[in-house]
Amino acid sequence: MLRNALFCLALACGLPAHAQDAAESIPPDIGQRVAERYVVPSVVAFSGVTGRLVGKTGELCAAPGDDALEEARATFADTVRAWGPVSILRFGPLVEESRFEHLFFWPDVRGVTLRQVQGVLAKEDESAATPASLKEKSVALQGLPALEFVLFGSGSEELAGAEGAYRCRYSAAIAANLAARAAELAQAWAPDAPFHSQFTQPSADNALYRSPGEVAGETIKALTTGLQFARNAELLPALGANPDKANGKRAPLWRSNLTFDLVGTQIEGVMGLVDAAEFRSHLDEADGAIVNSMLFDLKHALKALEEVEAPAETAFTDAEDRARVSYVGVALEGAERTISEQLSAAIGLTMGFNALDGD
Amino acid sequence: MRSTVIDRRTFLILAGGAALAPAWAEVAEEALFLGARLNNGRFEAAIIDEKGRDRLVLPLEARGHSFAIDQPRRRAVAFARSPGRFAVAFDVDGRNEPIAIAAAPDRRFHGHGVFTRDGRLMLATENDFEAGRGVVGIYDATDGFRRLGEFPSDGIGPHETLLLHDGRTVCVANGGILTHPDYGRAKLNLATMAPSLAYIDAASGEVVEKAALAPELNRLSIRHMALDAAGHVWFGCQYEGAASERPPLVGRHRRGREIELFPGPQGVLHSMQNYVGSVAVDTSGMVLATSSPRGGLIAFWDTETGQYLGRQSLADGCGVAPIARGRVLATSGRGAVVSASPKGERGLVEAGAEAPAWDNHLRRI
């Protein structure tokens, strides 16, 4: 009898699948912490560096030369490293209007970027050389992978001379679009913007987040999605099932040898986001150990990445580096599981079997 | 070729109490339901009766999804969750050895399929991942489920497929999402999605009609379908756009007309969190049930008018299948089995940490 009564109660509650009775183990101001300590600084930094990139590509076009090209390339590298921490925020403003794809069209399974960018360069397509008309074209033509080919791919040395004039204008248009999308992100996360308020002030009548538990759920999902993306979309395809199947050219940004910078800054981003959310301070010692175990995995992943010696193009086939990258994959998978299985349970989130990643 | 190793003794496991039940042949008329689930760390397909009691359990090598059912011949095919490498054909009364069906090397199963009415063919939605196009694989159900060929689904990411009442046309929901096995379940083309319903003559493979959503709804992935009493296609969607947008998730397509979408009340639409996991029409064909595991609810709709009829709560509830007039049997990822109608619900098996976690779909045999 009692059993039946309990059963009926459980059914009647009908709590949303990822917002169970958020206990005191969820920091009530988690949205505020995440926004102020992690998101806003990350998107503002990204916006700043893309602004510099616009400047450097502009200078290169105005006065082509080896030094100017080097500076543009170095600023591109800074942009990628600033993108890493932003790229893991795959919800809200980064998802709206396909911003993620506009900034970083990846994975590019069918090599669309290379084909389209080479097409634009061969034709000297004027509609790709102004930011407004470029925005209307394929997303593969306007993100970081496209700009990487323009700045580092075959023929990029012509950027140092007058014969690279068109190529340079196209690079400047991409940089301008990156800066525009980055500015939109920064605006959407600005303290007085609607999304910022929804994320930081969850409430029953909030259209997006009804409780701190839902904000925590969004944060957890961003962490696991970010780790999965780095492993499954960025590292594993290039690593292949065995050394014969390895191919560094399937990794993102191998031409500029920024693959491991990208993954490294994404891992640092995950650690920074966990830190900002302060999950640990609301957990007891035993559950706090979950966070430590995850951070342990990520620190070792970072260390292994730093130890990779060969450039990305060959690191996946070189025996020693391959072992390091494989280790990174294992560590990222471990950290992801710790978050999705243990951390989410410890803070009282139940990620539904069907709701989490259904079909 | 990769084989699905199934131990016949395990296959024939009958749940406790089943020994007291009459022989299968004598209860052929009783309502039986088929679903995939995770039970104590093991993936399986399970047949349950209308009280939610286990009748037959078939181990699966990985997570299952949905089923093709050949009701007159008492057999079914369980599909792996997409991108799936395996399917298993089996006798729903456990009389024969199951048959493993491996995906063609350059294809992956997409979780759903149908039998033709004469039981000769089984059709499965598949991904031709190198070409990035959907196909429908054709299998000879009279000859060990040998793959005979395929026809294009005329879209990307085909998901559920139905055989229409005419017995010759299949309708395929092209969800529009491109995937590639090297990248797991990553969605590769969100910016350029173009979901559709394709009506295909099963005999010729010819696309006889195609219906698409308005261009501004290109991220509204059409995934699951059910037929109402009049033979019209009802479908449920999953929105891949911004969470701040709440497009309608339930629609109907009548041949020769435009797709109609039914938002229902704002509160319910909001609760569904841009995600319908499964749809079913009741035994009368007049009531549609749409589950939203993210919202923890099942919403009901009048199939004549598209009017919203009511909702029931079911945390992580997803599987729905017709059990009676205006009523569905529903399963949840937390192990609950309930009988639900617009007016109320009755618990049959309670949720619990030890209970088998039911996966997306439940089918009536």
Cα separation, A46 vs A248, whole angstroms: 27
Question: A102 and A205, same structural domain?
Answer: no
Strands B233-239 and B287-292: unpaired
Residue A57 has pLDDT above 70, yes or no: yes
Q: Which residue in this structure is represented by tokens 């800074």?
A: A78
- Mean pLDDT to the nearest integer, A122-127: 97
The radius of gyration of chain B from alpha carbons, rounded to an integer in Å, stands at 19
Work out whether the CA dihedral B241, B246, B250, B255 comes out positive or negative.
negative
pLDDT at A154: 97
Residues 293-352 (A) with a CB less than 8 A from some CB of B: 350, 352
DSSP line for A184-253: HHHHHTSTTSHHHHHHHS--TT-SS--SHHHHHHHHHHHHHHHHHIIIIIIIHHHH-SSGGG--GGGSTT
What confidence category does residue B278 fall into, taking pLDDT thresholds of 50, 70 and 90? very high
Cα separation, B13 vs B21, whole angstroms: 14
Question: A225 and A158, same structural domain?
Answer: no
Interface test with B, best of A11, A332, A333 (most B CBs within 10 A): A11
Cα separation, B283 vs B285, whole angstroms: 5
pLDDT at B59: 96
Question: A158 and A282, same structural domain?
Answer: no
What is the 8-class DSSP label of residue A59?
H
> Which of A189, A214, A242 is a domain's end point?
A189
Q: From the list B270, B313, B333, which residue is nearest A353 (CB)?
A: B333
Question: A312 and A268, same structural domain?
Answer: yes
With contacts defined as CB-CB under 8 Å, which chain B residues touch A236? 182
Inside any domain, residue A10: no
B188 CA: distance to closest CA in chain A (Å)? 7
Residue A12 Cα distances to A190, B294, B309, B315, angstroms: 39, 16, 18, 10
With contacts defined as CB-CB under 8 Å, which chain B residues touch A354? 277, 293, 316-318, 332-333, 358-360
pLDDT at B7: 39
Residues 199-228 (A) with a CB less than 8 A from some CB of B: 207-208, 228
Question: Does domain B97-364 bear CATH number 2.130.10.10?
Answer: yes
Cα separation, B63 vs A341, whole angstroms: 17
pLDDT at A356: 66
Q: Which long-range contacts (CB under 8 A, 24 or more apart) does B37-46 make?
A: B37/B64, B37/B331, B37/B356, B37/B357, B37/B358, B37/B359, B38/A353, B38/B63, B38/B356, B38/B357, B38/B359, B39/B356, B39/B357, B40/B354, B40/B356, B44/B356, B45/B78, B45/B88, B45/B90, B46/B356
pLDDT at A300: 97
Q: Cβ of A237 and B183 within 8 Å?
A: yes
Do A197 and A209 form a contact (C-beta atoms < 8 A)? no
pLDDT at A10: 29
Residue B27 has pLDDT above 90, yes or no: no
What confidence category does residue B162 fall into, taking pLDDT thresholds of 50, 70 and 90? very high
SS3 at position B36: strand
pLDDT at A355: 73
Let me know if B216 is exposed, middle or buried by CB neighbors in 10 A (0-12, 13-18, 19+). Answer: exposed
Identify the domain containing residue A80 by its residue range.
38-189
Residue B68 has pLDDT above 70, yes or no: yes
pLDDT at B9: 36
% of chain A beyond a pLDDT of 90: 82
Quick one: residue B52, left, alpha or beta (phi over 0 = left, psi -120 to 50 = alpha)?
A: left
pLDDT at A11: 30
Q: From the list A15, A98, A109, which residue is nearest B183 (CB)?
A: A109
Q: Cβ of B242 and A354 within 8 Å?
A: no
With contacts defined as CB-CB under 8 Å, which chain B residues touch A92? 242-244
Cα separation, B208 vs A141, whole angstroms: 36
Residue A351 has pLDDT above 80, yes or no: no
To the nearest whole number, what is the mean pLDDT of chain B? Answer: 92
Work out whether the CA dihedral B46, B49, B52, B55 comes out positive or negative.
negative
Number of alpha carbons in the 13 Å side-chain half-sphere of residue B88: 30
B243 CA: distance to closest CA in chain A (Å)? 7
Cα separation, B119 vs B108, whole angstroms: 23
Do A220 and A343 form a contact (C-beta atoms < 8 A)? yes
Angle at A62 between CA A58 and CA A67, to 5 degrees: 85
Question: A217 and A175, same structural domain?
Answer: no
What confidence category does residue A105 fall into, taking pLDDT thresholds of 50, 70 and 90? very high
- Mean pLDDT to the nearest integer, A127-154: 97
Q: From the list B81, B186, B315, which residue is nearest A107 (CB)?
A: B186
The string of pLDDT tens digits covering residues B70-104 is 999 999 999 999 999 999 999 999 999 999 999 99
pLDDT at A207: 82
For chain A, what is the domain count? Answer: 2
DSSP line for B246-274: ----EEEE-TTS--EEE---HHHHHHTTT
Question: A46 and A24, same structural domain?
Answer: no
Select the more confidently predicted residue: B243 or B256.
B256
Contacts with B134 (C-beta within 8 Å, 6 or more apart), sequence order: B110, B125, B126, B127, B128, B152, B153, B154, B155, B156, B157, B158, B172, B174
Work out whether the CA dihedral A290, A291, A296, A298 comes out positive or negative.
positive
pLDDT at A117: 98
The string of pLDDT tens digits covering residues A230-278 is 999 999 999 999 999 999 999 999 999 999 999 999 999 999 999 999 9
Question: A208 and A185, same structural domain?
Answer: no
Counts for chain A of helices (H) and strands (E), in that order: 18, 0
B137 CA: distance to closest CA in chain A (Å)? 20
Q: Cβ of A7 and B183 within 8 Å?
A: no
> Which of A138, A165, A189 is a domain's end point?
A189
- Mean pLDDT to the nearest integer, A195-199: 96
One-letter amino acid at A243 equals: P
- Mean pLDDT to the nearest integer, A315-330: 97
pLDDT at B11: 42
- Chain B touched by A111 (CB under 8 Å): no
| Both structure tokens of B319 | 């599987």
Number of residues assigned to chain B: 365
Question: A237 and A331, same structural domain?
Answer: yes
Question: A240 and A172, same structural domain?
Answer: no
Cα separation, A187 vs A181, whole angstroms: 10
Inside any domain, residue A8: no
Q: From the list B294, B313, B350, which residue is nearest A355 (CB)?
A: B294
Q: φ and ψ at B276, to 5 degrees?
A: -110, 125
Work out whether the CA dihedral A241, B359, B140, B125 comes out positive or negative.
negative
DSSP line for B178-235: ---GGGTT----GGG---EEEEEETTT--EEEEEE--GGGTTEEEEEEEE-TT-PEEE
Number of alpha carbons in the 13 Å side-chain half-sphere of residue B187: 24
- Mean pLDDT to the nearest integer, B17-36: 60
With contacts defined as CB-CB under 8 Å, which chain A residues touch B317? 354
Select from B119, B76, B66, B67 the least CA-distant residue to B98.
B76
Strands B344-349 and B337-341: antiparallel
pLDDT at B57: 96
pLDDT at A24: 65
Contacts with A20 (C-beta within 8 Å, 6 or more apart), sequence order: A213, A348, A349, A350
Q: From the list B185, B297, B332, which residue is nearest A357 (CB)?
A: B185
Question: A210 and A346, same structural domain?
Answer: yes
To the nearest whole number, what is the mean pLDDT of chain A? Answer: 91
> Which of A189, A217, A248 is a domain's end point?
A189
Residue of B nearest to A350 (CA): B316
pLDDT at A255: 98
Question: A63 and A122, same structural domain?
Answer: yes
Angle at B62 between CA B57 and CA B63, to 5 degrees: 80
- Mean pLDDT to the nearest integer, A303-325: 97
The string of pLDDT tens digits covering residues B192-224 is 999 999 999 999 999 999 999 999 999 999 999
Inside any domain, residue A285: yes
Do A208 and A259 form a contact (C-beta atoms < 8 A)? no
Which helix (H) or strand (E) covers residue B320, if one does? strand B317-324
Select the more confidently predicted residue: B8 or B289.
B289
Cα separation, A88 vs A142, whole angstroms: 20
Question: A230 and A147, same structural domain?
Answer: no
Number of residues assigned to chain A: 359
A100 CA: distance to closest CA in chain B (Å)? 10
